[in-house]
Amino acid sequence: MPKKTKQKILRDEIQQDLLDQLERNGTVGAYYTDMITDYMKLWDTKNRLIADIEARGVTVESVTQAGINIKRNDSVGDLLKTNAQMLKLLDSLGIRPAQTDGGGDVEM
């Protein structure tokens, strides 16, 4: 059996955490499980977009008849849209970030 990558382990942990949160909220059913599957597909897309930006940068060369132009990497805008959609999906599922006791090192 192939060894799981760190990315796959993290993906599985996130998916399980989201499913656990749904259960704790009393939100159960195939519809909601399918929405978590959709969220994870967006998560995969987000990671591919980040990898593209890291590999090619925020600007890319575009070859046209007029010559070589520099344009914005489309992955930057797509990443912003994907993140926004992921947040909307979590909101529609009623999933909120976990509240902490505020035990950080911030002094006022």
Strands annotated E in the chain: 59-64, 67-72
Q: Residues 36-63: what's their mean pLDDT?
A: 97
State how far the Cα of 96 lies from the Cα of 48, in Å rounded to an integer.
25
pLDDT in tens, 66-83: 899 999 999 999 999 999
Q: Contacts for 30-39 with beta carbons within 8 Å, 24 or more apart?
A: 32/93, 35/89, 35/92, 35/93, 36/93, 38/89, 39/86, 39/89, 39/90, 39/93
| pTM across the whole model | 0.81
Is residue 60 classed as helix, strand or coil in its secondary structure? strand
